[in-house]
Structure 1
Amino acid sequence: MENRDKKKVLIVGAYACAYSLARKFAEQGAQVFVAPGSDAMKEFATVVDIRKDNELLDFVLENAIDLTVVAGDSGKSDIATLFQENNQPVFCPTRYSSGICQSKVIGKKFMHRYNIPCPKFGVFEKASFAISYLENSNYPVVIKTDHHQRKGVSVCNNIASAKTIVDNLFALGEKRVLIEDYIWGHEFSFYVITDGYHAIPLGCVATYKYELEGNGGMLSSGMGAFSDNYRVSNRIKERIMQEIITPALNALEKEQKPYSGILGADLVIDDNENLYTIEFNQFLKSPDAQVILELLDDNIYNLFEACAIGSFADDYDKIEMKDENAIACVLCSGEKPVTIEGLENLDENTKVSHFNTKKSEEGYKTGGGQTLVLTRRARVLSKAVRDLYDEISVINYDGKKYRRDIGTIL
């Protein structure tokens, strides 16, 4: 006879964030299913190759799934509305409420409309107008596509490079280009859990977006992170809630688009403690997800379910987190698949999350680009940093690349 005391959870996702989330649910006793999942997730979850929203709903109904969680950006999909219309608990925002996360232009215009602090920006649909704006700008500037992805972001130090980027983007068919001032200061991410009306901080993360040490090279979706971020005081966190998070949630409610799920904000604080909102994010990003989940000391099922069924405001006034520090580093690889060695030799306290590895007879093989995330936790950040890099040295494969300065404030 089936044990229904064990909650059934469906995670929608395929990469490192979904991997870490599914493992967290499994560690806390849930029966976990992941769609579409990955080879590595089969170690602790049942992987089902489902990619269409209506097929996900059919699976949930047929298998008596208790809670569905969308791990990451849902894109044009609207799983939340579909599941809510069929009375199925789901933890993610609707497509309409997450528009501020899906589109950089929508997000920036939303910030401007509701006086949420952000850099000065302009949105352009023609290259000539964008270049005219650049001719009167202070440098550096940041040029972005409308898509919510780091590969569409360029930092330009002079007008010549900025013009080249703008011309190339429009030549490649971009419909809208966003240009904003570059803000000098400390970059970090701030996350809350919310039911659309009540929000509680989940974590403040120091982020490392550039591919090379010292913030060199190209921007990426993330090369490393640590939490809690000691550069951001409790007073600043209170300001973030008052000046950014609460106004954003109130505005979405006013527009009849209440946001339920995890809302993230990429922020910069300058030397004068001015806050700037760079963009909003739907759910946790890797490697932020790894450090926050490593520190989460609450029951994740109860937490997410409370938002999904509407009891969050009554059930929670704080989220229990471990009084420790967690740090994560992303390991990248070349395009040619090669076997990863050393995974079996890692310390039991090291958490490994997989992006796109494939299982073979020789073991896991790389999939190109972001490959693994290694995470460590300790009472003191410096010890977590030493332990992390000791463990990274255990992993070996041709083409291994990673930043060696995660844990330092730049």
Structure 2
Amino acid sequence: MNILLIGGGGREHALAWKLAQSPRVEKLYCAPGNPGIAALADCINIDVTDNDALGKFALDHNIGLTVVGPELPLTNGLADHFAALDLKVFGPSRQAARLEGSKAFAKDIMHKYGIPTAASAAFTDADSAIAYIKKQGAPIVVKADGLAAGKGVVVAMTVAEAVEAVNMMMRDKAFGSAGNLVVIEEYLSGEEASLLAFTDGFTVVPMIAAQDHKRVFDNDQGPNTGGMGTYAPAPVVTAAVQDQVTREILQPVVDAMRQEGIIYKGCLYAGLMITGQGPRVIEFNARFGDPETQVVLPLLASDLVDVMEACADGRLADMTIEWDTRAAVCVVLAAAGYPGSYSKGQVITGIDTAEAQGVLVFHAGTAEKEGRIVTNGGRVLGVTAVADDIRAAVDKVYQAVPEIKFDGAHYRKDIARRAFNRG
């Protein structure tokens, strides 16, 4: 089977790495890909939002399955376009992807169908949003409704911070049209976790729970990022908690979408807060998480192509999905200044030396220039170690990370610390 993978980040490199292991893959293509993916697939220079060009490529190259990595092509209707061309795709339709593309839509679904989440209100007028914040008090959470590359959420510990967030999103248009509507949410306390699941619109099969680290600096300091590292399995999600999330959140939201006339196929990502009152949904994403994919897929023992095809064909109930019993830890190397402004084009050295220590190095924001790998994004690389337990994986990854060097390289040194802080 020929497979087309859409995207060019660390998540897509991890997907390419796992897909390439399947004996069923004859040829793997990636649009647009990156230098790391180029070792596994033919990278093609087509924009991820160009549905017509991607569809033509898939038809011309006898693509049997297309796997969509990022959120933008999903909310842009790529899966619908491919379905109309009778092309098999792993990824939800435009309507289904609204679970991620509109936080207000997701909240409406959750409130309507009784899926546990924070209390919230949505506003299209900044003055009304600010008045609501002043009435509710802090801490409080301010979210841009639309896509904002994982940065459209402000957890405000004071009313002043929350007001500033509203002004930044709605008046200063920091995230463009994504901030035309904001969702103001109750602050939830507890421990965060990510639980991804495969689904064919009826059956839901959870993956191994992971925990992301959003803040840019150690001890969860500094601004939110797209994710500075992650580990799996996350001890906060016990077997009982995972069963509860599947029963009360994942299955109900897929069923709710179907009640709304929308069949949700692909990967469903639940960002959770494990509170004293049980799991609550912080957000849904309509695709694999980044960097969660870099620790979840290395623990998948089953053939990813078989699982994805079963999701696309509505046969997931017939699948038995196997998992590795070990642990994985991923540390992200970021450019200086990220998540603010940062420079590109810094030469990267030491990737081979790190890989020689038995870790996986996933390219997130890299490019090739004059035969050398250079930085080309805020999150540059994700280094993943798999070992018998989390402590061993942490030790292994932090031995390898310092081998990789580029000017201004920054990484957190406390990934997975919560796993060791549990009493």
* Range class of TM-score, shorter chain: over 0.9
User: What's 2:35 paired with?
Assistant: 39
Equivalent residues in 2 for 1:245-256 (5 A)? 245-256=250-261
What TM-score results when the alignment is normalised by the length of structure 2? 0.92
Unaligned runs of 5+ in 2: 174-178, 337-342
CA distance in 2, matches of 1:307, 1:75: 16
Match of 1:297 among 291, 294, 301: 301
CA contact (8 A) 1:207 1:226 kept: yes
Residues 71-96 of structure 1, C-alpha deviation per residue, up to 9 Å, x if partnerless?
Answer: 12125321222222222111111001
Q: How does 1:252-401 map to 2 (within 5 A)?
A: 252-270=257-275, 272-313=276-317, 315-316=318-319, 318-334=320-336, 335-348=343-356, 349-361=358-370, 363-401=372-410
| Partner SS, residue 240 of structure 1 | helix
Partners of 1:164 and 1:302 in 2: CA distance: 48
Q: AA paired with 1:245?
A: L
1: CA distance, partners of 2:313 / 2:157: 49
Tell me which amino acid in the other structure corresponds to 2:334. C
Structure 2 residue corresponding to 1:227, chosen from 232, 236, 251: 232
Q: Secondary structure at the match of 1:249?
A: helix
Contact 1:226/1:288 (8 A) holds in 2: yes
Task: Give the alignment partner of residue 60 of structure 1, picking from 33, 58, 61.
Answer: 58
| Conserved 8 A contact 1:327-1:375 | yes
Deviation at 1:273, TM superposition (A): 4.3
SS at match of 1:203: coil
Contact 2:236 2:274 in 1 (8 A): no
1:3 matched to which residue of 2?
none
Aligned pair 1:159/2:159, yes or no? Answer: yes
Query: Equivalent residue for 1:102?
Result: 101
**2:244 is aligned with 1:244:** no
**CA 1:168–1:57: 2 relative to 1, 3 Å:** closer
Amino acid at match of 2:346: V
Are the aligned partners of 1:40 and 1:359 in contact in 2 as well (CA < 8 Å)? no
Q: Is 1:119–2:118 an aligned residue pair?
A: yes
Query: More deviation in 290-299 or 65-74?
Result: 65-74
1:32-77 CA distance string (max 9 Å, x none): 1001212332111101112211221111111111111101212532
User: Structure 1 length normalisation: TM-score?
Assistant: 0.94
Q: Which amino acid aligns with 2:374?
A: K
Note closer, same or farther for the CA distance 1:379–1:273 as it changes in structure 2 (3 Å cut).
farther
The answer on whether the counterparts of 2:137 and 2:159 sit within 8 Å (CA) in structure 1 is no
Structure 1 residue 28: Cα displacement: 2.6
The alpha-carbon deviation at position 338 of structure 1 amounts to: 1.1
Query: Is 1:214 matched up with 2:211?
Result: no
Q: 1:23 aligned to 2:17? A: yes
Secondary structure at the counterpart of residue 66 of structure 1: strand
**Contact map agreement 1:264 1:282 (CA 8 A) in 2:** yes
Q: What is the CA–CA distance in structure 1 between the aligned matches of 2:21 and 2:247, rounded to whole Å?
A: 35
Q: Shift in Å at residue 132 of structure 1? A: 1.4
**Maintained 8 Å contact 1:339/1:362:** no
Corresponding position of 2:193:
188
Measure how far apart 1:362 and its partner are: 5.6
Partner of 2:339: none
- The AA in structure 2 aligned to 1:223 is M
The SS at the match of 2:349 is coil
Q: Secondary structure at the match of 2:93?
A: coil
Q: CA deviation at 1:396?
A: 1.2
Structure 1 window deviating more from structure 2 (63-72 vs 383-392): it is: 63-72
Give the aligned partner of residue 148 of structure 1: 147
Partner of 2:135: 136
Change (3 A) 1:246 1:76: closer
1:218 partner SS? strand
CA RMSD, Structure 1 to Structure 2 (Å): 1.5
Distance 1:289 1:40, change over 3 A: same
Name the amino acid aligned to 1:18: E
Q: Could you list the per-position Cα deviations for residues 197-222 of structure 1 after superposition, in whole angstroms to 9, with x for gaps in the alignment?
A: 01111121112111111111001111
Structure 2 distance, partners of 1:368, 1:94, is: 28
Contact 1:140 1:182 in 2 (8 A): yes
Q: Distance in 2 between matches of 1:162 and 1:347?
A: 43
Query: Match of 1:167, as an amino acid?
Result: N
Q: Which stretch has the larger CA shift, 387-396 or 302-311?
A: 302-311
Identity of aligned residues (%): 30
Secondary structure of the structure 2 residue equivalent to 1:151: coil
d(CA) in 2 for partners of 1:324 and 1:161? 41
Is 2:410 the partner of 1:406? no
SS in structure 2 at match of 1:221 = coil
Cα-to-partner distance string for 1:140-193 (whole Å, 9 max, x where unaligned): 111111123322211212112222222332222432111112211100100110
Cα distance, 1:336–1:36 mapped onto 2, change above 3 Å = closer
Letter in 2 for 1:369: G
